[in-house]
Chains A and B, each alone.
Chain A
Amino acid sequence: MPPLAETVVALLLLCSGGVVLVAALGLWRLPDFFLRMHAPALASTLAAWIVTFASILHFSTRGGGLALHVWLIIIVLSITVPVTTIVLARAALFRRRQAGDALPAPLPPRRQP
């Protein structure tokens, strides 16, 4: 494996670790559930893409030809993550409305011309 490819793989892995840590901090620090829903998307899109690129690079420079099967994980994630997000958001909206919150917040009254 050439040293340049190893360096690039190492940098990509460190970037993915940082992105996942930022996502976890967002999950911990953000004040409301609907704000907190945004944070894990960082891990399941950007970090997953970065790790997939690192994995493809590592297994392709090993000498066995192009290894693109890790791409399947990206395809499956891009199908499943929006479904999970929309179902969970609808469940949260339903539960908050059952609890008596006016969600989303009402718009300000429109000015009459």
Chain B
Amino acid sequence: MSELLSLAIGATLVLYAVAMVIAMLRLFGGPSAQDRVLALDFVYVVGMLTMLVLAIRYDSEMYFEGALLMVLFGFVGSVALAKFLLRGEVI
């Protein structure tokens, strides 16, 4: 791996971390419950992107399954929380 690529990966991970911190501010200080659900969904997506970048960083395809699982669990969690906000019960 060249110097340029490892530097770019480091910068990308720093940008993702800053984005996650900003989303955490919205998650903990959001004025309404749906804001918090939206911020949690965003944090899930950024975590999935981080897994894909780490797959390039460590040159391993094992991270791909982790990223796929994060997409699926983020979807299930967000839909369950949104259904809970809609009627007050999940199913």
Q: Contacts A43-B42, A76-B68 hold; do A16 and B49 have CB atoms under 8 A apart?
A: yes
Contact yes or no, B38 A40, CB < 8 A = yes
The size bracket of the interface on B is: 35 or more
Contact A17 B2 (CB under 8 A): no
B interface majority secondary structure: helix
B86 touching A90, Cβ below 8 Å: yes
Number of interface residues of A (CB under 8 A): 52
* Complex contact A21–B83 (CB within 8 A): no
Interface of A is mostly: helix
- Chain B neighbourhood of A3, CB < 8 A: 2
Chain A residues with CB under 8 Å of chain B are 1, 3, 6-7, 9-11, 13-14, 16-18, 20-21, 23-25, 27-28, 33, 36-37, 39-40, 43-44, 47-48, 51-52, 54-55, 58-59, 62, 67, 69-70, 72-73, 76-77, 80, 83-84, 87-88, 90-92, 94-95
